[in-house]
Amino acid sequence: MLKTMTCRVCGREFQARHTPAYYCSNACKQKAKRRRQHRPYEPVEPPRRPAPDQPAPPADCVSAVQDAQRVANDLGRLSATAPYQLRPRFARLAEAFAAALEAEGL
């Protein structure tokens, strides 16, 4: 039994030989398929780079920070291994150094 349908692509009326039938022809069926497959352009997020106002620090800055971190570690070690009378002073220095580095986000 034929049924009068309206093509979803071109809007023409056609006699559907089977249901569900939504398109008048294979051409319109293909057109609809291509439309379904079409996805709007989605830009790919570029890889993160340092913000322009925060350029990568020069090598001498990096090595200075590494030196400071090493000193903080040395002071922490000395607060446990130095002669007894010096340990509290190294402990305070180690704590101050570590706090300063942490406060600067280093």
Backbone torsion region of residue 11, taken as left when φ is above 0, otherwise alpha when ψ lies between -120 and 50, otherwise beta: left
16 near Zn ion, rule: CB under 5 A: no
Determine contact, residues 17/25, Cβ cutoff 8 Å.
Answer: no
Instruction: Judge if the upstream peptide bond of residue 20 is cis by omega within 30 degrees of 0.
Output: yes
Rounded Cα distance, 17 and 24, in Å: 10
5 near Zn ion, rule: CB under 5 A: no
Instruction: Judge if the upstream peptide bond of residue 40 is cis by omega within 30 degrees of 0.
Output: no
Of residues 24 and 94, the one with the C-beta less far from Zn ion: 24
The one segment of 10-18, 33-41, 66-74, 78-86 that binds Zn ion by CB under 5 A: 10-18
The one segment of 27-35, 36-44, 53-61, 69-77 that binds Zn ion by CB under 5 A: 27-35
Of residues 2 and 59, the one with the C-beta less far from Zn ion: 2
Determine contact, residues 30/10, Cβ cutoff 8 Å.
Answer: no
Q: Pick from 1, 3, 4, 10 the residue near Zn ion by CB under 5 A.
A: 10
Considering CB under 5 A, how many residues would be counted as binding Zn ion?
5
What is the contact surface with Zn ion in residues (CB under 5 A)?
Answer: 7, 9-10, 24, 28
